[in-house]
Structure 1
Amino acid sequence: MLTALTGADWELVKFYLSPIQSLLDDDRVTNIMVNRYDDIWADDLERGMYKTALAFADDAAVATLIEQISNALAQYFDPVKTPIINARLPDGSRVCATLPAATPAGCTLSIRLHRRHGLDLERLEQGGTINTAIKELLLEAVTRGDNLLVSGATNSGKTTLLNALSFAIPQRERIVVCEDVAEIKLNAPNVIQMEAQRHESEDTPSLTLASLLATSLRQRPDRIIVGEIREPDAAEVFFQALNTGHRGVYTTLHANDAGAALKRLVSLTMGRSTLPFKVIEVEYLHNLDLFLHMDYLEAGGVRRLTEICVVKAGQLKPLFLYDAIDDTWGSSGSGYMGSE
């Protein structure tokens, strides 16, 4: 892992990363969290979050690693003036680090790993995130070109599910991806990946997710994938894509359940619309086929696709609901044939 880190500066970084090298080499691990030099945790879809037996030599070793990462990225480093470091490594992995000025108990380091090969639906089934019936339903939905929204809280596995769905997109199709932060990994030959940019200077206007979405509509996409909708402008352009006949449009949204996701999506859209709430619910959601809700279950430390709902007349109708007691899914018994 981190093979994209080349050059003398990165050789130093890799040297100081050696205490956690086994986690970097484990394809199942998605996040590494150093709470203290001797308190290191890992997270993956199959095992959940767990404490490891790994440790750095001392707090100074973690501080040196953070400094070397900053140096390799040519970022300003001062343990007092800049005690919080946010960075993206050349391979796409994201780093958030703090120094004792921000965390008096010692340095912390969080690495969200950008794996070159994401999990497909088969792997999600093997890991228990979905079952066979749900896998088949999702494969059919993606093949058919249904429009999908994936909701969930932070660290619930929204992006992982979106990645898995993308593996089922036919190879002949052209895909345009729009994200605030590049996280989606596609196994496809005809892809454009765009990333929003925020600028403080008035001379350099920000490149927003809404502007990326508007651009994507002019690039002859067969599929449009939106990393996460957070703002009214992006929600409005997302619905423009749906309501102008585009099929195979996917996005994610932060919410605690599918019903809350529906309300939040409509509320965001109202920020750029004069239509009443109920009209938006019915008219704007007419071309959105499935809501998929992901949950991270603290008790078991696992992630599950807990709700699969179809949109009918602005309302959510459950197709599958997860039972945490039995670790099984119940079906509503109603068939699903996609957009009609």
Structure 2
Amino acid sequence: MGLLSRIQDKTQTQQEQPTSSGSEQKQPQPEGMDSAYESLTKQIVRPTEAKKNSIIPKANDKHRELKGLLHKQVLHELKGDTDIDTIVPKIDGMAMELIKEDETFRGTIDRKRIVDELINDLTGFGPINPLLLDEDVSEVMVNGPNRVYCERKGKIVLTNISFRDNEHVMSVIEKIVAPIGRRIDESSPMVDARLPDGSRVNAIIPPLALNGPTITIRKFSKDPFTIDNLVQFGTLTKEMAIFLDACVKARLNIFVSGGTGSGKTTTLNVLSNFIPNDERIVTIEDAAELQLGQDHVVSLESRPPNIEGKGAISIRDLVRNSLRMRPDRVVIGEVRGAEALDMLQAMNTGHDGSLATGHSNSPRDMISRLETMVLLAGVDLPVKAIREQISGAIDVIIQQSRLKDGSRRIVKITEVQGLEGDVIVLQDVFSYEQSGIDDNGKVIGKLVPTGVRPKFYERLENSGIHIPASVFIGDEDWN
């Protein structure tokens, strides 16, 4: 009995391919509308048009059939075999045998492609494995089995990658979350996780995700970015780099704020590398992402509740515990809730040099969000007391943004000068000035000092750190 016959004897079920149908109704054009409105309506993509124009080229039926047959046999015969050097020849031999036995496979099948796809399923993360290995890809987004996007050079593009079905996507999610002790099912349909290289993963599945299991992966580079890389990318200038290096070494409390995908974690990681190697660093994150190069680093990670809804360990619990671990520095991956109160208290009680990130549109908004997060702790504090805590704790706010062309820039470095009356006084030390957009859609602008020397300048000098006065003076101020 041939290999094909043996596989067919083991299973009689066939995979049903989802079908979709829809009709597009032409909308009548209003008479007399001006050319500007006419141009605008041409750019609008209606739901039916979007579905029609975004059909991804799928593998032909014979490709899917052979891959399905081969996958079943591989799972049966090579179960537990993880040696890539022995797996590839065996899978290739099985594929050749199946093609020989069924003439319909001949001339229509790319055997190498099928073998590569199976290797990705068995030893990697399925169809998205090539994207994870591509250094030009910074983000991978799986919107159900048939729509996979990636971000290249700040722009989101649709790929020709697809999964077999929802179960195929689910198997990849399980492969990601299982090694770190996380789970995802109908009772817990959302999960934050990480890949072995530290890349951040978020997954959400039906019934919450209507398009099928959805995966979002924020990739981390194999070699962590350095301050020189950020200068080359244009995220900041050399003057900013000198200033931030001095702030970290002088043990100022720094908060990095910005929107989703603006590069906050990357900047936090770079700032953390300025910390001297002889200090004890405790990092606290939802999913461990920071890649610190120092020797003495203790990484803490929060834990979601178990299947019974118990056993959860929050960021706030970890912040409290970290203060009993004799840290020289506390680095919090993201502050988003009641842990803000414990963080501010730590910064105000001798734990100088702490670093953290948070979501906001501007330094002033970050202050307002911190006030709100402190109130989430359930402590009945007057607003003025909260503002005193914030103004006494945080020294510098770094505002980061992703611009329209996809580039990531530090747009403000702001000093928290203190409390005057009921208002927290903020003063920009550096800011980003945009002058236009070039023919390629790239934003033209530069990061410039505001000409104001920060009040903590003497604190830097007392720490033995000298910053030239020219760092705080713009070119126009010299003239």
TM range (shorter): 0.7 to 0.9
CA distance in 2, matches of 1:339, 1:265: 27
TM-score by length of 1: 0.82
CA distance in 2, matches of 1:339, 1:288: 17
Q: Which residue of 2 aligns with 1:157?
A: 263
Q: Which residue of 2 aligns with 1:32?
A: 140
- Which of 313, 317, 320 is 2:430 aligned to? 320
Q: Which residue of 1 aligns with 2:397?
A: 291
Q: Does 1:214 align with 2:320?
A: yes
Q: Which runs of 5+ in 2 are unaligned?
A: 1-79, 85-118, 419-423, 436-443, 460-479
Relative distance call for 1:25 and 1:12 in structure 2 (3 A) is closer
- Which of 84, 96, 99 is 2:203 aligned to? 96
Q: Which residue of 1 aligns with 2:450?
A: 332
Deviation at residue 327 of structure 1 after TM alignment:
1.6
Q: Which residue of 1 aligns with 2:281?
A: 175
Q: Does 1:67 align with 2:185?
A: no
- Which of 362, 369, 384 is 1:278 aligned to? 384
Larger strand fraction of residues: 1
Relative distance call for 1:38 and 1:315 in structure 2 (3 A) is same
- Check conservation: 1:177, 1:225, Cα contact below 8 A: yes
Relative distance call for 1:328 and 1:14 in structure 2 (3 A) is farther
Deviation at residue 30 of structure 1 after TM alignment:
3.1
Matches within 5 A, 1:1-340: 8=82, 13=121, 17=125, 20-27=128-135, 29-35=137-143, 40-43=148-151, 47-51=153-157, 54-56=159-161, 58-60=162-164, 64-70=168-174, 86=191, 88=193, 91=196, 92-93=198-199, 94-96=201-203, 98=205, 102-104=209-211, 108-199=214-305, 204-232=310-338, 234-272=339-377, 273-297=379-403, 299-313=404-418, 314-325=424-435, 326-336=444-454, 337=456, 340=459
Deviation at residue 289 of structure 1 after TM alignment:
0.9
Relative distance call for 1:113 and 1:335 in structure 2 (3 A) is same
Deviation at residue 21 of structure 1 after TM alignment:
4.3
SS at match of 1:60: coil
Q: Which has the larger radius of gyration?
A: 2
Relative distance call for 1:48 and 1:13 in structure 2 (3 A) is same
- Check conservation: 1:30, 1:112, Cα contact below 8 A: yes
CA distance in 2, matches of 1:244, 1:107: 45
- Check conservation: 2:367, 2:390, Cα contact below 8 A: no
CA distance in 1, matches of 2:183, 2:317: 30
Counterpart of 1:157, as a letter, is G
CA RMSD of aligned residues (A): 3.4
TM-score by length of 2: 0.60
Counterpart of 1:148, as a letter, is I
Aligned-pair identity in percent equals 29
Deviation at residue 274 of structure 1 after TM alignment:
4.0
Relative distance call for 1:107 and 1:198 in structure 2 (3 A) is closer
Larger helix fraction of residues: 2
Deviation at residue 118 of structure 1 after TM alignment:
2.2
Counterpart of 2:142, as a letter, is V
- Check conservation: 2:121, 2:127, Cα contact below 8 A: no
Kindly tell me the number of residue pairs found equivalent between the two proteins.
Answer: 326
Report 1 or 2 for greater relative contact order, CA contacts < 8 Å, sequence distance ≥ 6. Answer: 1
CA distance in 2, matches of 1:7, 1:312: 62
CA distance in 2, matches of 1:43, 1:334: 38
Relative distance call for 1:14 and 1:28 in structure 2 (3 A) is farther
- Check conservation: 1:323, 1:329, Cα contact below 8 A: yes
Relative distance call for 1:283 and 1:76 in structure 2 (3 A) is closer
CA distance in 1, matches of 2:81, 2:425: 55
